[in-house]
Amino acid sequence: MKTTVTENICLNELLIDKIADALQRHGFIQLTEFLPAWLGTQLQQEAERLSLIAFKPAGIGRQNDLQLNTQIRTDTTLWLEGESAQQQAYLQCMEQLRIGLNRRLFMGLFDFECHFSHYAKGDFYQRHKDAFKGRSNRILSTVFYLNESWKKNDGGELLLYADQQTSPLLIVPPLFNSCIIFLSDVFPHEVLVSHNDRFSIAGWYRLNSNSTGRLDPCQ
């Protein structure tokens, strides 16, 4: 029977246990076969289609400080707003993970934001952090990969570093249905030059210090 995106999707509780344990011990985890393959395929197809008509050049910084700098990054992006069934299914999975991590680690994760990313041939993103201690409400970064036919020579690996170390702690190829999750303000990272069209969903779990229950402004 063919699976559809309207079906309820639940992350395995043992998987959430594994993610929580790795984050507590190491601050990061690299996963394969993260979600049902059919969902990854539908998200890949949507990303490829929308990249031709709706993606925009990615910037550096947030809101009023947003700048385009092709010396630092050259990818294009589109924020996910749950406008398709497959987007809703993905956001449902990540919401389940948010709740599960809060229950296990008391992280206080308030919400999740994410966007499609497209690295065309020659695109890259230089070494950076997704957040800085005390200066951002992003606490946990995620990258979910959507490349069904990725080969080693296609490049586009994410390099994760331990603080100021020059050699990478982890080299993450953008293989289909794999995912990397790491503490946003701990691990610098970069995306090496891609030699083929490379698609992913980059996301961030955020904290909130607003006592009214409304989300703080993006930082």
Q: What is the pLDDT of residue 66?
A: 66
Does 1 score more than 50 pLDDT? no
**And the tokens for 136?**
């951002």
Integer angstrom CA distances of residue 113 from 12, 142, 148, 156: 22, 10, 24, 23
The pLDDT tens digits for 166-201 are 999 999 999 999 999 999 999 999 999 999 999 999
Residue 49 falls inside a structural domain:
yes
Domain that holds residue 52: 14-57+70-206
**And the tokens for 8?**
């309820």
How far apart CA 21 and CA 29 sit, in angstroms, is 9
Q: What is the pLDDT of residue 208?
A: 84
What DSSP designation does 65 have? Answer: G
For strand 111-119 and strand 76-79, is the pairing parallel, antiparallel, or unpaired? Answer: antiparallel
Residue 6 falls inside a structural domain:
no
Place 8 in a pLDDT band, splitting at 50, 70 and 90.
low
Q: What is the mean pLDDT of the chain?
A: 90
Does 62 score more than 70 pLDDT? no
* CATH code, domain with 30: 2.60.120.620
The pLDDT tens digits for 11-22 are 999 999 999 999
Does 113 score more than 90 pLDDT? yes
The pLDDT tens digits for 27-40 are 999 999 999 999 99
Does 144 score more than 70 pLDDT? yes
Residue 62 falls inside a structural domain:
no
Integer angstrom CA distances of residue 114 from 22, 86, 111, 164: 22, 14, 10, 27
How far apart CA 32 and CA 53 sit, in angstroms, is 30
115-121: average pLDDT:
98
Residue 212 falls inside a structural domain:
no
Q: Which residue has the tokens 């080693």?
A: 152
Residue 195 falls inside a structural domain:
yes
Residue 179 falls inside a structural domain:
yes
Q: What is the pLDDT of residue 61?
A: 66
Residue 19 falls inside a structural domain:
yes
- How many separate domains does the chain show? 1
Strand partners, 191: 125, 158
How far apart CA 139 and CA 87 sit, in angstroms, is 22
How far apart CA 195 and CA 156 sit, in angstroms, is 7
